[in-house]
Amino acid sequence: MATSLSAPAPQTRPVTEDFATAGFEWFGELGAFCGRVAKAMFSFPFEWSEFVHQLDAAGSKSLPLIALAGAATGVVLSLQSRASLVRFGAKSMLPTMLVFSIIKEMGPIITGLVASGRIGAGIGAELGSMKVTEQIDAMEASAVNPYKFLAATRILACIVVLPLLTLAADACGILMGWVANTLSEPISFQLFINNGMNGVAFSDFLPPTLKTAVFGLIIGTVSCFQGMRTRGGTAGVGRSATSSVVLSSLFIILADVLLVRLILVFFP
């Protein structure tokens, strides 16, 4: 009797199918997480002291880095744009170009991306560490809702501080843009600002600044979610911190595209 020596081919699922399943599971779990946090957020009493603590952790402790990033952006924009504008005989447009670039896009997106690294990694690692050392379980066992105490306070703090940090980044960017410009061609700060703000409407400033509240929502939600679902000891904590930053940054970039389009619809 003839027998086949070859083993039957294993039935493997395509990698794309596994990836899709994992993606659907992730979004499903994220939806359930958001539901729990939203329910906890609007239930009495609110954790004010933890919220204030998180405002400090996410806000004032991120301020130096965000300010530095904003300042560097202003300097680079000024240096890079100057040569091009001189070539086209539009040197006098530099302050306007700088102010528009910073307040409409560079300030908000730089703030969002830097904050996703600074705040997102911090939240992901902190909650991940709390998860693997059973601190979140201990909180739940002592009848304290971790979705309220840990997640809701951090998400709200991110939503509040991102626009404020954006203001700081915008201010530092414009100030250092002026400094970089003045080193090449001295100009008073008042004249620079007057030129820069010429034609800037409230609608140029407010929607881009407030859109960073959505970036804050993304950073807080994704980082808390990744942190609170950590598994696998210290290696898992590292993975949570990294994935918090990567996913937050990715969603911020995608959200930025949508929000810019939306802002252009409502403020053409």
Partner 1 sequence: MEPQPVVVKGLRKSFGEQQVLNGIDLAVNKGEILAILGKSGTGKSVFLRLLIGLEQADAGSISIRGVDTTHLPMERLNEMRMKVGFLFQEGALYDSLTIAENVAFPLRRHTKLNDSERADKVRALLLSVGLDKDLEKMPSDISGGMRKRVGLARALALDPEILLFDEPTAGLDPITAAEIGKLIQKLRQERNVTSIVVTHDMHAAHYFSDRIVMLKDGNILIAGTFEDLEKSKDPFVAEFLSDAA
Following CA atoms 135, 141, 146, 148 in sequence, which dihedral angle do they give, to the nearest 10 degrees?
-150
Q: Are 184 and 83 in contact (CB under 8 A)?
A: no
What minimum distance in Å lies between the beta carbon of 147 and partner 1?
10
Nearer to partner 1, 104 or 131 (CB): 131
Nearer to partner 1, 143 or 201 (CB): 143
What minimum distance in Å lies between the beta carbon of 144 and partner 1?
6
What minimum distance in Å lies between the beta carbon of 25 and partner 1?
14
Handedness of CA 58, 59, 62, 65 (dihedral sign): positive
Nearer to partner 1, 133 or 198 (CB): 133
- For partner 1, the binding residues (CB under 8 A) are 126, 129-130, 133-135, 137-145
DSSP character at residue 9 = P
Distance of CA 60 to the CA centre of its chain: 16
Nearer to partner 1, 22 or 138 (CB): 138
The separation between the first and the last C-alpha atoms of the chain, rounded to the nearest angstrom, is: 80
What minimum distance in Å lies between the beta carbon of 44 and partner 1?
12
What minimum distance in Å lies between the beta carbon of 142 and partner 1?
4
What minimum distance in Å lies between the beta carbon of 137 and partner 1?
5
Residue with tokens 């409409």, as numbered in its chain = 104
Q: Are 211 and 110 in contact (CB under 8 A)?
A: no
Give the 3-state secondary structure of residue 35: helix
Q: Which residues of 26-62 are buried (b: 16+ CB within 10 A; e: fewer)?
A: eeeebeebbebbeebbeeeeebeebbeebbebbbeeb
